[in-house]
Structure 1
Amino acid sequence: MVSSSKRHNKPARISRIEKLSVLPVFFNLQGKQVLIIGGSNGAYWKSELLAAAGANLQVIAPADHIAEDFRQYLEVADKNHVMWEDRNWESEDLKGKSLAVADLEELQEIERFKQAAKQHACPSNLIDKPEYCDFQFGSIVSRGPCVVGISTSGVAPVLGQSIRLRIQALLPQWLEQWGELAQRIRPQVMRRFVSGVDRRRFWQKFSEKAWDSAPSQSTIHGIYGQLKEEGQGEQENQNNLLYFRKKTRSEVSEGASVVEVSQLGADYLTLRDLRLLQSASRIVSAPDVPEAVLRLARREALHQTLENDQRVKAGDEKGCVLVRMKSDSLQQNSVG
């Protein structure tokens, strides 16, 4: 017979994770209805972010409350999956929405918004008011299907941006190609390797290659050869190989208020380059600057593309950064 003292003297279970201040989750917003209330630049940035995640946006704000840059964005509503309504919001606007984001100042209106969100079981966010938020937007590092979210629980957003800056410098741009490749071959991996142990071994080797370089044609060919099943035709493999032909990429090197884009690639960016891009309030870029470079800038920065014969004029606001190709003829008189 086992004594009661022995039964209760089990070793304490070690927790597998320490206490979290927030739970990091990732919403799938493809095709979902999301509400934006307000026309500020903050609401503009949240609209861009949510549209990039595939959401269908309903923006509600009176015309005289819309920031100029936001207005220009709303003019291409069909392209951005955005519908703008020139009016004040109502409680029923939150009905059926997956998320709601508002930029409100008056306490009474904030409380009315929160009550409506609760009534319609809609997770809500008040811009720059973390104490009223069901969820918050963190800093983001994106490499295709690989997305890193960083939160400081609303306490220190600038610290979150600083962390993002360092992660951005560590993660090579080519991870996006490996992420796309993983997404494309996943069904074949599931069919080819029945055992979970075998699948894990395959993905471990796959992930090790991802840190060396962009996936070459020979590497991709070898991966598809490994996944080829008995009786499988060559057409599927050939289609996948064609899909992953190398893409030409151009990226950057730096200056004081100028980022000059070389042909070496974004993976050769210095931390100083990234700090310059991350601290910008406005990015002015030459038309031939690759989009991959501009994505490294501060997320909230406003973007302007110069025409070939345009120049950045003296007296432009502080925080403006010119991004151009090294061979570009654009001259900077004074930026910021």
Structure 2
Amino acid sequence: MQYLPIFLRLAGQPCLVVGGGEIAARKVNALLRAGARVRVVAPALGEDVHRLLLAGRIEHLARRFEPSDLDGQALVISATDRREVNEAVAAAAQARNVPVNVVDCPDLCGFIFPAIVDRSPVVIAVSTGGASPVLARLVRARLEMALPAAYGRLALLAERFRQRVKVALPDASRRRRFWEAALQGGPAELMFNGQDAAAERCFEGLLAAETAGPASGGRGFVSLVGAGPGDPDLLTLRALRLLQEADVVVYDRLVSAEVMGLIRTDAERINAGKASSRHTLPQEEINCLLVRLAREGKRVVRLKGGDPFIFGRGGEEIETLLEQGIPFQIVPGVTAATGCAAYAGIPLTHRDHAQSVAFVTGHSREGQGSSVDWARLVNPQQTLVVYMGLQAFPEIRDQLIRHGCPADTLAAIIEQGTTVRQRVVTGTLVDLYERATAAGIVSPALIIIGSVVALHRQLAWYHGQAEPPAQPD
């Protein structure tokens, strides 16, 4: 290890920056964010540094650097483009044992600036020891994506409770386990969702439950997560993080194998998938299962294909969680309509074809299609998207035609959209089902009806498997 990573406390400390240009401005701002009192030595100031001077945030000595400028300084940064000045600053700093950084001159540095991920008071520093600053910034960018912005507020919440937890849980190992559970459970997720007051109440409840006894339970948290239509790259960052933190994942059959592969390897997996007329678990049992798992103190992910609130019955599940006092969050996903249509090159709206779009399900509690107001769905300026409608399509087709939809209206069916197994079959309302049957299309499949389907061959960009040859007229 070429450099020892440390964090300096500079609040209220005098620091010197030599140079007044753009690079100097960046270093001055970094010092100001750390609370330092900054003096700049430079014959002239660039616009950015001059603005800080006018705001009264820095002191300026309008002359060249002199070794005596280092007297009393906590550290110095030389940010000039003149080698002789930089060497003079480095030599004077070393003679006085003042930490020195010379921009773009590692050989003159006593310390170097890392790339910083700032979630104050959580701060992460990334360095390549000067070997590749660009690589350090790329690593920082990945960390920025992985760490929710609310980590700083979560740290402040932990700080407020730190002494109370120490008193309530004097045993160090028990206290550590409590912190690990709390900072990965309900309080954290609520904080990440911007529900700071709820996070604090949740933390209070967890501490009360823990002091009542380890077996009192109540630490769990449920996340209803949209898995998207299949392509794992369409997951949100939050969804990916939750899959890798979950203790147990309750998943549906529509979740793709690729997304399932992102679940933490030691997480318990429970199949709650439903197919038409064949339920692995009835919905009421799923609701009770989520409550039971949460009360066991587990981080539960309820993983649903597409989006939890688009024909995913997520609303029914959170009603039960609310009734039972279980903390939860909703993580939206790319719904099948938008994902599959995009990957098939079929815009759901287009100024020359459709000014609105309607989503309907091919089956409901009352039976396939029985609760749909078909007359309202017949509109030549509207795209109709049918979820879970493959088996019911003959009835859907007949109902639409009966209510005035032209039989030659264009339609498409997309099987396993957004995955490498995607197939698209197009036709008309009257012949699409026969074409799909001949091609061996099976669920999961999405149906799109409307003139926008005409754009498929022109705009198709993603090819899982080629479209089956068109049937002869």
TM-score (normalizing by structure 2): 0.41
Cα distance 1:225–1:211, how it changes in 2: closer, same or farther (>3 A)? Answer: closer
Tell me how far apart the structure 2 counterparts of residues 69 and 218 of structure 1 sit (CA, whole Å): 41
In structure 2, the partner of 1:214 is: 191
Of the three residues 116, 121, 124, the one matched with 1:140 is: 116
Tell me how far apart the structure 2 counterparts of residues 149 and 74 of structure 1 sit (CA, whole Å): 28
1:240-251 aligned within 5 A: none
In structure 1, the partner of 2:71 is: 95
Tell me how far apart the structure 2 counterparts of residues 174 and 206 of structure 1 sit (CA, whole Å): 15
In structure 2, the partner of 1:33 is: 14
Cα distance 1:166–1:188, how it changes in 2: closer, same or farther (>3 A)? Answer: same
In structure 2, the partner of 1:189 is: 165
C-alpha displacement of 1:174 = 2.0
Aligned partners of 2:17 and 2:76 also within 8 Å:
yes
Look up the equivalent residue of 1:220 and give its one-letter code: E
C-alpha displacement of 1:89 = 2.1
Aligned partners of 2:182 and 2:188 also within 8 Å:
no
Cα distance 1:41–1:266, how it changes in 2: closer, same or farther (>3 A)? Answer: farther
In structure 1, the partner of 2:51 is: 72
Tell me how far apart the structure 2 counterparts of residues 52 and 96 of structure 1 sit (CA, whole Å): 21
In structure 2, the partner of 1:180 is: 156
**Residue 121 (str. 1) matches residue 97 (str. 2):** yes
C-alpha displacement of 1:211 = 5.4
**Residue 85 (str. 1) matches residue 61 (str. 2):** yes
Cα distance 1:131–1:175, how it changes in 2: closer, same or farther (>3 A)? Answer: same
In structure 2, the partner of 1:162 is: 138
Aligned partners of 1:36 and 1:101 also within 8 Å:
yes
Tell me how far apart the structure 1 counterparts of residues 237 and 21 of structure 2 sit (CA, whole Å): 32
Tell me how far apart the structure 2 counterparts of residues 191 and 37 of structure 1 sit (CA, whole Å): 49
In structure 2, the partner of 1:61 is: 42
Look up the equivalent residue of 2:110 and give its one-letter code: D
Of the three residues 186, 197, 201, the one matched with 2:177 is: 201
Cα distance 1:226–1:212, how it changes in 2: closer, same or farther (>3 A)? Answer: closer
Aligned partners of 2:65 and 2:85 also within 8 Å:
no
Look up the equivalent residue of 2:26 and give its one-letter code: W
C-alpha displacement of 1:38 = 0.5
Of the three residues 224, 230, 237, the one matched with 2:204 is: 224
Q: Which runs of 5+ in 1 are unaligned?
A: 1-19, 229-264, 269-336
Q: How far does the alpha carbon of each residue in 1:241-279 deviate from its partner, in whole angstroms, 9 at most, with x for none?
A: xxxxxxxxxxxxxxxxxxxxxxxx9979xxxxxxxxxxx
Cα distance 1:168–1:88, how it changes in 2: closer, same or farther (>3 A)? Answer: same
Look up the equivalent residue of 2:130 and give its one-letter code: G
Residues matched between the structures, number: 208
C-alpha displacement of 1:115 = 2.1
Tell me how far apart the structure 1 counterparts of residues 153 and 82 of structure 2 sit (CA, whole Å): 46
Tell me how far apart the structure 2 counterparts of residues 105 and 142 of structure 1 sit (CA, whole Å): 28
Q: How far does the alpha carbon of each residue in 1:114-153 deviate from its partner, in whole angstroms, 9 at most, with x for none?
A: 2211222100000111111111111111112111111011
Tell me how far apart the structure 2 counterparts of residues 225 and 267 of structure 1 sit (CA, whole Å): 24
**Residue 51 (str. 1) matches residue 18 (str. 2):** no
In structure 1, the partner of 2:84 is: 108
Look up the equivalent residue of 2:191 and give its one-letter code: A
Look up the equivalent residue of 1:156 and give its one-letter code: S
Tell me how far apart the structure 2 counterparts of residues 95 and 158 of structure 1 sit (CA, whole Å): 34
Cα distance 1:267–1:132, how it changes in 2: closer, same or farther (>3 A)? Answer: farther
1:259-270 aligned within 5 A: none
In structure 1, the partner of 2:402 is: none
Tell me how far apart the structure 1 counterparts of residues 169 and 66 of structure 2 sit (CA, whole Å): 53
TM-score (normalizing by structure 1): 0.57
Aligned partners of 1:143 and 1:179 also within 8 Å:
no
Look up the equivalent residue of 1:148 and give its one-letter code: I
Look up the equivalent residue of 2:34 and give its one-letter code: A
Cα distance 1:266–1:67, how it changes in 2: closer, same or farther (>3 A)? Answer: farther
